[in-house]
Amino acid sequence: MRVAVIPARGGSKRVPRKNVRVFAGKPMIAWAIKAAADSGVFDHILVSTDDVEIRDVAVAAGAEAPFLRPAELSDDHTGTRKVIQHAIHEAERAFGPVDAACCIYATAAFVEPDDLRHGLERLTADGRQFAFSATAYAYPIQRALRRAANGGVEMCQPEHRLTRTQDLEEVFHDAGQFYWGKRDAFLSDEPMFGLQAAPVMIPNWRVHDIDNEDDWKRAEMMFSALGKGAAG
């Protein structure tokens, strides 16, 4: 059995109630639920929340909520890994053995069903323990600058001062949208980002962290520019 787990606690502070705030015509969490449903690869789409309103909105959007997350897993310091482990155990109590799970963040409005399908392919065909959304840095990090002790600037990697951009190694980072993992990998202490993980590359114009009001407005404008939205 494969399950999607969408963590969505009620205590968001920088953008209050952002998991259920209307984004492009729907509650934010509904976009992640829709992508999971449209991917066709999950037996169950679960929301892990401590909040009754979020639970009800998620269920109305097509998710399942057979449990409420306990308070000790809903504070500002609890890592996502523990939340997923709890959800896997609860899913197995409710539905039976889990083979693989995919954590999809509730604010991942830009995630596409094909991304989730591709992640599952990387997880299974490549024999990996994890597969996660990733995106390339918009500018070569080998050319990064930092402040020098005298108030000026210096290169972090001065050996690349004259290296042509096309000769620099491409590097990328976690896109913060979804994380596939095999059951035992999620339940272990194996690191998410290691030799047993496969990146699923996402174009950086589809990667948006939403941590404040400016982020929200920018993401909503891009969503609209891509022809998405409740009427799209």
Write down the mean pLDDT value for the chain. Answer: 93
Cβ(108)–Cβ(116) below 8 Å? no
- pLDDT band with cut points at 50, 70 and 90 for residue 116: very high
The pLDDT of residue 74: 83
Choice among 55-69, 72-86, 118-132, 166-180 with the minimum mean pLDDT = 72-86
First vs last C-alpha separation in the chain: 31
Q: What are the tens digits of pLDDT across the range 144-194? A: 999 999 999 999 999 999 999 889 998 999 999 999 999 999 999 889 999
Q: Work out the burial of residue 101: count CB atoms within 10 Å of its CB; fewer than 13 is exposed, 13-18 middle, 19 or more buried.
A: buried
Predicted pLDDT at 95: 97
Q: Which residue has the tokens 């001062």?
A: 161
Tally DSSP H helices, then E strands, for the chain. Answer: 6, 10
Task: List, in order, residues 6 or more apart from 148 with CB less than 8 Å away.
Answer: 154
Task: Give residue 227's pLDDT.
Answer: 86
The 10s digit of each residue's pLDDT in 4-21 is 999 998 877 678 889 999
Letter for the amino acid at 94? A
pLDDT for 149 equals: 94
The pLDDT assigned to 127 comes to: 85
The pLDDT of residue 63 = 98
Give residue 229's pLDDT: 77
Q: Alpha-carbon torsion 116, 120, 122, 125, what sign? A: negative
Interval 200-205 mean pLDDT: 94
What is the model's pLDDT at position 150? Answer: 94
Place of tokens 């709890």: 86
CATH of 2-133+173-225, one of 3.90.550.10, 3.40.50.300, 2.40.240.10, 3.40.50.150: 3.90.550.10
Instruction: State residue 71's pLDDT score.
Output: 84
Q: How confident is the model at residue 232 (pLDDT cuts 50, 70, 90)?
A: very low
State residue 39 phi and psi, 5-degree precision: -70, -30
Query: Is pLDDT above 60 for 197?
Result: yes
pTM: 0.92
Q: Which of 183, 60, 46 is nearest to 106 (CA)?
A: 46
**Residue 21 corresponds to which amino acid?**
R
Element at 94 (helix H, strand E)? helix 80-95
* CB 118 within 8 Å of CB 133: no
Is 29 in contact with 46 (CB distance < 8 Å)?
Answer: no
Give residue 34's pLDDT band: very low, low, confident or very high (50, 70, 90).
very high
Binned at pLDDT 50, 70 and 90, residue 78 comes out as confident
Are 155 and 84 in contact by the 8 Å Cβ rule? The answer is no
Q: Could you tell me if 155 and 162 are in contact, meaning their C-beta atoms sit under 8 angstroms apart?
A: no
Which residues, at least 6 apart from 185, have a Cβ–Cβ distance to it below 8 Å? 129, 130, 196
**pLDDT confidence of residue 231:** 53
Task: Give the CA angle between residues 62, 77, 79 to the nearest 5°.
Answer: 55
